[in-house]
Each structure stands twice: as C-alpha cells, then as structure tokens.
C-alpha cells in the first residue's frame, strides 16, 4: 500500500477521535471499547510518513491503551463502554491492543486469566438436533452463559496466541471448535455449519477470522484450509464491506495467498466506508488490512517489533 494512502488514513482516523482518549461508534461520540481497541490496533499496524501524523498516532495508541486500562473490571474483563459493563466479548480486543501498545502487561495478564476461565455452554447433542456441529466443544460466546459462536471463539484464540498461549488447553479447544464448524464445501458461517442436514452459506468475515486463528496450526494443503482460501479468493473481488475485506484479505495474506488486487480493493472500499455513520470501525478495518504489522499484532506471526510503552494514568 502507498505510504501516502496510509498517512491519509492515519490522519482521518485521528480526526474522528473527538473529544477524549478513545473512539466512539460514530465520529465524535463517547468512547466505546470495540472502536477504541480497533483504532489503536490499526494505527499501530502501519507507519505513516514521518511528521505530525506519526507522532500523533503513537500518542493516540498510548492514550487509547490507558483508557482501556480504566475500562477494565475487577475480574479482568472489559465491557462495551463505561456505562455498559456487559456483555464482555470485547476483552480479546483489549488484550490485542495492550500487546500492540506495550507496557500494560499486568492488565493484559489479568484479562487473559479471565478469558481462560470463560467457556460457552456445552451439551450432548440430542438425536433430533437440527445443527451439525459438536456442541460438546467449549469455545467462547458473545454473551456469558450462552452457546459458543465462531467469531468470539476465533478472536479469543488470536488473543491467547498473541499472549503466548498457543498450546494452552483453552486455545486448543477454540481451534477444535473452529475446525468442527467448517462448512464441508469451504469456509465458515457465523455459528453453525449445517442446519437440518443442509450446508449453510459461508461468509467472508467469519471465514477470514477462522483462517487467521488456524494460521500456523494447520497444514496449508489441508482441505480445510484450501477450501476456505478458495472461497475467499472467489468472493473477495466483489466484496467491499470493510469488515469482510479486512479479515478475508488478512487471512489470505497469512496463508501466502494475498490477492494482487488487494490494495485496489481497500482503496475502493474506503470511499463508501468514509460516508457511513460507523466510519470509525470501518476505517480501522481497512487500515488494519493494509498494515505491514497486522499479522504480528493479531498473534498470527512472531512478534519482531518493539512497541511504545504505556503506563497507567494517575487519574
């Protein structure tokens, strides 16, 4: 991606953080955990051209990390915002953001401990169940005390791998769930693979997340990976939704199949994303997909970059 495009997107994302230390779901809104963590990751994943944008980006990442510390609850988890303490599916995003910023190791360990203690509801499948997946595998839910879903499980696996826990029992559980939920013809849906014996349609965002979570833990020539990547290669040329484009592009990159037209797709997607009411997260996803360090920050490859230090604020 051209340095000038990266620099403009850094400046644009920084301009949407008004006022306060984090980002809201909409430009200028009160800060929320998800867009703040995503924005911090996106800014940390690439380098703008030297100058004010670079300095402001580093400062914004550090400030966002401190605000996330302030949002951490006593048991280590994070909710949606200061006013919405549940559900707490945002905790893996905070773990990834703290790892990107550096200096919040104690808070990251506490969040990881909470994440390890969580698991979606499991049960022995009934003979007449309409669903095709193994309900006995413990993953992670969107809401505590409910069944596991693909996306929160994949995000938990990425956060745990980034924390150095690739071989922990819970990380392996998550990978087993991801493999079990794969659609036979290729790719992943949001939760199930089949209903009443019929394969569901794969979707690019969960497929990308699943492939990212399995990167390095599965053989590249396995049917699971080949079919998932084949699906993404077919669907991404016509995909412009930033979330889907982000995780789909990153997944193909992780498996050595990044599309040649990926940068052009990101540039094209930006023009519509910038006009959306939730442009903060949309822009962060596009910047993440373009970042040279994103796979490192997501725990997919080994960390070889130093990060700015973040200390707990005195307030």
> Which tens digit of pLDDT belongs to each residue from 83-108?
999 999 999 999 999 999 998 999 99
Asked, for residue 309, whether it belongs to a domain, the answer is no
Helices vs. strands in the chain: H and E counts, helices first: 13, 2
Count CA atoms within 13 Å of residue 147 on its CB side.
Answer: 14
Asked, for residue 58, whether it belongs to a domain, the answer is yes
Angle at 34 between CA 32 and CA 36, to 5 degrees: 65
Q: Which residue numbers in the chain have pLDDT < 50?
A: 304-315
Asked, for residue 307, whether it belongs to a domain, the answer is no
Asked, for residue 303, whether it belongs to a domain, the answer is no
Fill in the DSSP letter of residue 206: H
Asked, for residue 125, whether it belongs to a domain, the answer is yes
**pLDDT for 24:** 95
**pLDDT for 126:** 62
Asked, for residue 311, whether it belongs to a domain, the answer is no
Taking the C-alpha atoms of residue 52 and residue 283, their distance in angstroms, rounded to an integer, is 20
Taking the C-alpha atoms of residue 291 and residue 194, their distance in angstroms, rounded to an integer, is 35
CATH number at residue 76: 1.50.10.20
- Whole-prediction pTM: 0.92
Closest alpha carbon to 162 in 254, 91, 96 = 96
According to DSSP, the residues that pair with 194 across neighbouring strands are 199
Cβ pair 286, 242 in contact under 8 A? yes
**pLDDT for 303:** 56
Asked, for residue 310, whether it belongs to a domain, the answer is no
Fill in the DSSP letter of residue 199: E
Our count of domains for the chain comes to: 1
**pLDDT for 112:** 98
Lookup: tokens for 258: 């990044």
Asked, for residue 313, whether it belongs to a domain, the answer is no
- In terms of residue numbers, what domain contains 219? 3-297
């Amino acid at each position: 991606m051209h340095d000038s495009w990266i620099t403009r997107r850094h400046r644009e994302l920084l301009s949407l953080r008004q006022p306060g230390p984090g980002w809201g779901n909409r430009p200028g809104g009160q800060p929320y955990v998800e867009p703040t963590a995503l924005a911090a990751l996106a800014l940390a994943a690439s380098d703008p051209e030297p100058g004010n944008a670079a300095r402001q980006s580093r400062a914004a990442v550090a400030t966002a990390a401190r605000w996330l510390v302030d949002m951490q609850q006593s048991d280590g988890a994070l909710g949606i915002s200061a006013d919405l303490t549940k559900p707490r599916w945002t905790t893996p995003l905070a773990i990834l953001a703290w790892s990107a910023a550096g200096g919040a190791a104690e808070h990251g360990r506490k969040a990881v401990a909470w994440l390890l203690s969580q698991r979606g509801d499991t049960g022995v499948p009934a003979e007449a169940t309409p669903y095709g997946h193994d309900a006995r595998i413990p993953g992670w839910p969107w809401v505590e005390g409910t069944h596991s879903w693909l996306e929160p499980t994949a995000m938990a696996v990425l956060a745990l791998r980034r924390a150095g826990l690739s071989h922990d029992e819970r990380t392996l559980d998550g990978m087993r769930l991801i493999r079990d939920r794969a659609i036979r013809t290729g790719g992943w849906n949001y939760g199930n693979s089949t209903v009443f014996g019929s394969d569901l349609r794969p979707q690019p965002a969960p497929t990308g997340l699943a492939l990212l979570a399995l990167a390095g833990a599965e053989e590249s020539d396995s049917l699971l990976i080949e079919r998932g990547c084949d699906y993404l290669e077919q669907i991404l040329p016509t995909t412009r939704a930033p979330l889907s484009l982000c995780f789909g592009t990153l997944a193909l990159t992780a498996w050595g199949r990044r599309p040649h037209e990926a940068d052009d797709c990101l540039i094209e997607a930006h023009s519509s994303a910038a006009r959306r009411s939730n442009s903060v997260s949309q822009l962060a996803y596009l910047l993440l997909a373009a970042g040279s360090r994103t796979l490192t920050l997501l725990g997919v490859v080994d960390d070889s970059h130093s990060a700015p230090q973040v200390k707990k604020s005195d307030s």
